Amino acid sequence: MPVLLCAQMATAQQTAPTVSTQQSVTVTTTVEPIPLSENDRALTVIDTQQDAILVNSTEDFLRTDAALDVQERGPAGVQADLSIRGTTFEQSLVLLNGMRINDPETGHLNLDIPEPIEAVSRLDVLHGSGSTFYGSDAVGGAVNLVTLRPAMTSAAMKLGFGNYGAEEQHLRSAFAGKRWAELFAGSRDVSDGFIADRGYHANAVSSETWATSALGTSDLLLAMSDRPYGANQFYGPYDSTERTKGWFAAMQQQLGERTAASFGYRRHTDLFVLFAGQPSVYENNHITNSYEGAVRRADAVGANATVSYGLEFDGDSILSTNLGKHARNQGAGYANLSVRSVPGAPRLSFSVGGREEVLSGNGSVFSPSFAAAYAVTSALRVRGSVGHGFRQPTYLDLYYSDPSTVGNPALKPESSWSYEGGADWNAGRVAVSATGFRLQQNNGIDYSKYSLAAKWQANNVASLAYTGVESSVRVRLSAAQRLEFGYTATRAGAPPMGLISEYAFNYAAQNASAMWTGEFKQVVARTRIGVTQRTQQTAYPVWDFSIARAAGRVRPYARLNNLSNTGYQEIPGVVMPSRTVMGGVELSWTPK
């Protein structure tokens, strides 16, 4: 939670939608315990406002980072999973303004984000274990959605139509005053589905208000979502239906220049019917509630160091027709020292931190981390880090039961150590980043069995290691054109003899991405080719293209996804759509 924190940060000197590693940032709402420019870790910052008309979802933005494996069951945030550096979908933490929105029921719903993409300014992605900063779930890494504080009064509306009965309507209105600002956003994405029982309705709405007083900035965020969809193939060859709803409220308050307090509440419901229209045959209804709060402070230590520290608490509960009624909570304290320049060795920087998390019913977990970097030249920088990660089982891991799957109340929390070393070279128009990593897990949780006739059961895997490399290249061809390339390769240790794994060994062994963006005479275009090869499967390419008018009050646009018409599955057994086309117009207004 603390690193990429809690509210609005503006990236300075950012020249491309995806920027790796070191970024200078300015905190405009709350104290930032560990600035991005000081943590000496592998990072990606994805600008979601630049050429935003070309992209319609958080998942599509995340695909621009080859270290992230997005596994969708359907578009528009319909039950998508996120894997970082080969880890399972439950080992990636998702935050909104630095506050947890991971679902305690199941990691399948971690990307069920209540905030419309129009209200998000950027995505901060931490690669590798981050439990020192965030607590549970940040084993493979973390993604923080940072909302957009408007700099000017404006309004925009987008209307689009496509094949398979697809429609999209998005709205954003903003007001910016001297002492307060307001942003309202709403989105509606619907489709009849490309095959039977795969239609969806994805709706989200949010309101965020900022006010400045003698104490500092106050930030109030309210958001909700409603997503009913057909779930054919999601859990087998059934005409299933599912509907998720989410409510999120967060309040953050500066208490002077160096201290900040925050509180958040999330409610989420998940209604699943195995046979459409026949809930009496098999139905699951899950209701989860989560809350969290924190007080944080950062103090300067001399001219080149900062010490950050704070206290946090959070808890969650579930009321479920299948899982029963359960609740848990935990509290944590953390501290981190960041030294930007070591006396006597000004090119050397480092950070060291630790977090003690006290868990209800499961003792406590200590998560230390250390990172360092050395500037070899003004353009070349080398870095390395080591950190601890952990994850508590979800309620589904512990208590779920159906004819083919059973939970395990005796599960232990996962623990891991992450090691990485890398280098970053930035020569202005060309920037190159490369990182080698290893993630060593103990008691990793996976659904597995030893015979085809047996049930899937949640079990602790004694030891599991992921080793790999990730790289990116950015090239600015001109003021109006840029190229971006990314490649990540991951390999996991072999499973125990005879073990059949459901999730842990469905990782992307290789993931590559190439993207070009250009603007000519007020027309902006983007094309991206992604190639993914999952372990023990054949690689498949997916080619997307989008084009739009970049200026003016009336901005036509068109998006073509899967131009290659590839037949593929990101999750085994769940077929993805063939070629899709969406076209429409965005109407934009700003006062003269």
DSSP 438-492: EEEEEEEEEEEESSTTSPEEEEEEEEEEEEEEEEEEEEEEETTEEEEEEEEEEEE
- In 3D, which of 197, 264, 225 has the Cα closest to residue 58? 225
| Contacting residues for 421 by C-beta, under 8 A, at least 6 apart | 382, 383, 384, 385, 435, 436
Report yes or no: 119 and 219 within 8 Å, Cβ to Cβ.
no
Q: Where are the beta strands (DSSP E) in 281-345?
A: 283-301, 305-320, 324-339
Q: Which residues of 390-410 are buried (b: 16+ CB within 10 A; e: fewer)?
A: bbbbbbbbbbbeeeebbbbee
Backbone angles phi, psi at 575, to 5 degrees: -70, 140
Question: CB atoms < 10 A from the CB of 576, how many?
Answer: 21
pLDDT at 526: 97
Q: Which CATH number fits domain 9-589: 3.40.50.620, 3.80.10.10, 2.40.170.20, 2.60.40.1220?
A: 2.40.170.20
Residue 186: per-residue pLDDT: 97
- The answer to whether residues 68 and 46 touch, using CB atoms and an 8 Å cutoff, is no
Contacts of 592 (CB under 8 A, 6+ apart): none
Q: How many CA atoms lie within 13 A of 469 on its CB side?
A: 7
The residues spanned by each domain of the chain are 9-589
Can you give the three-state secondary structure of 413-441, one letter per residue? CEEEEEEEEEEEEECCCEEEEEEEEEEEE
Q: Is 350 helix (H, G, I), strand (E, B) or coil?
A: strand
How far is the C-alpha of 184 from the C-alpha of 116, rounded, in Å? 10
Q: Compute the distance between CA of residue 84 and CA of residue 66 in angstroms, rounded to an integer.
A: 9
CA 557/CA 520 separation, integer angstroms: 15
566 CB-near residues (< 8 Å, 6+ apart): 540, 541, 542, 543, 578
Pairwise CA distance, residues 59 & 37, whole Å = 25
3-state DSSP assignment of residue 62: helix
Give the chain's residues under pLDDT 50: 1-33
pLDDT of residue 1: 37
pLDDT of amino acid 401: 86
Closest by CA to 104, choosing from 351, 360, 461, is 360
Q: For strand 68-72 and strand 141-147, is the pairing parallel, antiparallel, or unpaired? A: unpaired
Residue linked to tokens 């969406």: 582
Number of H helices, E strands in the chain: 3, 34
Residue 478, both tokens: 């001109």
Q: Write down the pLDDT at residue 505.
A: 77
The span from the CA of 484 to the CA of 432, in Å, is 10
Give residue-wise pLDDT tens across range 513-551.
Answer: 999 999 998 999 999 999 999 987 899 999 999 999 998
